[in-house]
Amino acid sequence: MPDIFTYTDFRLFLADYYRDHKERNPSFSYQILADKAGFPNRGFIYNVIKGSKNFSPSSAVKVAQALQLDAKEADYFENLVSFNQAKSLRERNYFFAKMSTMRSNRQGGALLRETRREHYDFYASWYIGAIRALIDMHPFKDDYKALARQLFPPIKPKEAQRAVAILENLGMIRRKSDGYYTVADKTIKAGKEIVQLGLQNFQLQTMDLAKKALQELPKDKRHISGLMLGISGKTYEAICRELEEFQSKLLQLAEADDEADCVYQVNFHLFPISKTKTEE
């Protein structure tokens, strides 16, 4: 049976569970699984796996019992369902934190849990990516106080040290023979649910950074502006495409800059401040 603790998407786990049992027993079916869980509709679990239906908390408990999960596995599964189906960022953060504390008895479980947490932290913490960029631009060895002071706003030396450790563990940077760090060309692979959750928290942090920059930095050190537009849904989609193309152009400019000496954060915000007629 697939190891539930390796999953961040309960639908994918159920699909793999079904495939695994079907390969070992061709007579296994959604009907059998539904009967074990006490669901009268044999297509219910299939529709959940495909994303057209959701589990209620009680349904998640029934399915965990039908899958014959032990207490720890069932607890993780039920929280995973709540994590995937959460409607607010606060709820997703809450259930992710609970999942991150759950321990698998299987070999490598602790390492998997820590690596998943580091994937999340890389995407969610604004200063970790910034520190990676600083290491790419300026020589760095072990002076975490100086590294922490290079950021705006400055962070604590312990936070800088932890960021370096996370980057090293993820293979994003490596220590050379002379003790200095260098950036490694590596793309980390994390579950899309972890990436999405991390990026949502990252966006909230960068909005706060923008407010701080507006309040504390002189005008020649920051560029913050905005537009208020009356547009249709069709034009909204066109503007989104233009923004995506513009972001690609900015990345090209940054990659071609051989004199980079500072890390900048560029935010694009486009959101409604009124309701449409159909929403009234």
Q: Residue 272: its pLDDT value, please?
A: 93
Q: Residue 104: its pLDDT value, please?
A: 63
- Which residues of the chain have a pLDDT value below 50? none
Is there a contact between 51 and 11 (Cβ–Cβ < 8 Å)?
yes
Q: Which residues on adjacent β-strands are paired with residue 183?
A: 173
DSSP structure string for the chain: ---GGG-S-HHHHHHHHHHHHHHH-TT--HHHHHHHHT-S-TTHHHHHHHTSS---HHHHHHHHHHTT--HHHHHHHHHHHHHHH-SSHHHHHHHHHHHHH---SSTTHHHHHHHHHHHHHHHH-HHHHHHHHHHHHS--SS-HHHHHHTSSS---HHHHHHHHHHHHHTTSEEE-TTS-EEE--------HHHHHHHHHHHHHHHHHHHHHHHHHS-GGG-----------HHHHHHHHHHHHHHHHHHHHHHHT-TT--S----------SS--GGG-
Residues 41 and 49: their CA atoms lie apart, in Å, by 14
Q: Residue 191: its pLDDT value, please?
A: 80
Q: Residue 42: its pLDDT value, please?
A: 82
Q: Residue 109: its pLDDT value, please?
A: 62
Cβ atoms within 10 A of the Cβ of 52, count?
Answer: 9
Each residue's pLDDT tens digit, 150-191 = 999 999 999 999 999 999 999 999 999 999 999 997 667 778
Tokens read off for 187 = 């793309």
Residues 131 and 161: their CA atoms lie apart, in Å, by 10
Is there a contact between 138 and 183 (Cβ–Cβ < 8 Å)?
no
Q: Residue 106: its pLDDT value, please?
A: 62
Q: What fold does the segment set 107-223 form as a domain?
A: Arc Repressor Mutant, subunit A (1.10.10)
Q: Residue 217: its pLDDT value, please?
A: 95
Residues 188 and 50: their CA atoms lie apart, in Å, by 27
CA angle 267, 208, 114 (to 5 degrees): 90
Q: Residue 107: its pLDDT value, please?
A: 60
What is the location of CATH 1.10.10 in the chain?
107-223
**Between the CA of residue 88 and those of 79, 83, 93, what are the distances in Å?**
15, 10, 9
Which residue type occupies 218? P
Is there a contact between 220 and 36 (Cβ–Cβ < 8 Å)?
no
Inter-axis angle of helices 71-85 and 57-66, nearest 10: 140
